[in-house]
């Protein structure tokens, strides 16, 4: 699996309701020590309910400038949330979604928890 298999993919809950799209993948360097850095563990998916992608991550940072770019982008991405990787029940196969009518989506487990996406 590669990161592009997850990015921009729709996200559904266990009942089939669309929650948004995966706009980024969050990693934490807390895995087993490697040669120089710790392994980068996939911590979760950043999901935006309104847009398929994110621009500069304003919705995840405390940056307020340049005005009005930052406030507009923050408003545009309102409602974005982080869902932890263990709450992901299903990831689409890379070949899914290639044709018209294909419905590839990341499906979350029942009772998943949404977190603030801020860094």
Partner 1 sequence: MRRRRTGSRDVPRGPEPRQPGRVLDARLHLLDRQVLDVDGMPVCTLDDLELEAVDGRSAPDEPIDGSVPVVVAALLTGPVLGTRVFGGRPPASRWHRLSWAHVVDIGTAVRLSVRSDDLDATWLERWTHDHIIGRIPGGHHDPESS
Tell me which residues touch partner 1 (CB under 8 A). 1-5, 7, 10, 12-13, 16-20, 23-32, 34-43, 46, 49-50, 54, 56-57, 60, 78-79, 81-82, 84-94, 98, 103, 105, 109, 113-119
CB nearer partner 1, residue 66 or residue 116:
116
Nearest approach, Cβ of residue 68 and partner 1 (Å): 21
CB nearer partner 1, residue 36 or residue 67:
36
Q: If you search the block for the tokens 């919705």, which residue do you land on?
A: 59
Indicate the pairing of strand 114-115 with strand 81-84. Answer: antiparallel
CB nearer partner 1, residue 71 or residue 79:
79
DSSP letter string over 36-72? SSEEEEEEEEEEESS-SS-STTGGGS----STTHHHH
Nearest approach, Cβ of residue 112 and partner 1 (Å): 9
Q: What are the Cα distances from residue 115, in Å, to 45, 84, 98, 109, 111?
A: 10, 8, 31, 15, 13
CB nearer partner 1, residue 35 or residue 66:
35
Per the structure block, which two tokens stand in for 55?
Answer: 């621009």
Nearest approach, Cβ of residue 60 and partner 1 (Å): 7
Give the closest residue to 4 by CA, choosing from 34, 25, 20: 25
């Amino acid at each position: 699996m590669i990161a592009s298999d997850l990015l921009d993919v729709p996200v559904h809950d266990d009942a089939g309701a669309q929650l948004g799209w995966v706009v980024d993948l969050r990693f934490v360097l807390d895995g087993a020590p490697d040669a120089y850095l710790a392994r980068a563990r996939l911590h979760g998916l950043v999901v935006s309910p309104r847009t398929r992608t994110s621009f500069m991550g304003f919705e995840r940072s405390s940056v307020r400038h340049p005005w009005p770019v930052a406030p507009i982008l923050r408003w545009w991405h309102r409602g974005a949330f982080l869902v932890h990787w263990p709450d992901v029940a299903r990831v689409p196969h890379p070949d899914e979604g290639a044709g018209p009518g294909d419905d590839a989506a990341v499906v979350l487990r029942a009772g998943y928890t949404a977190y603030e996406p801020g860094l």
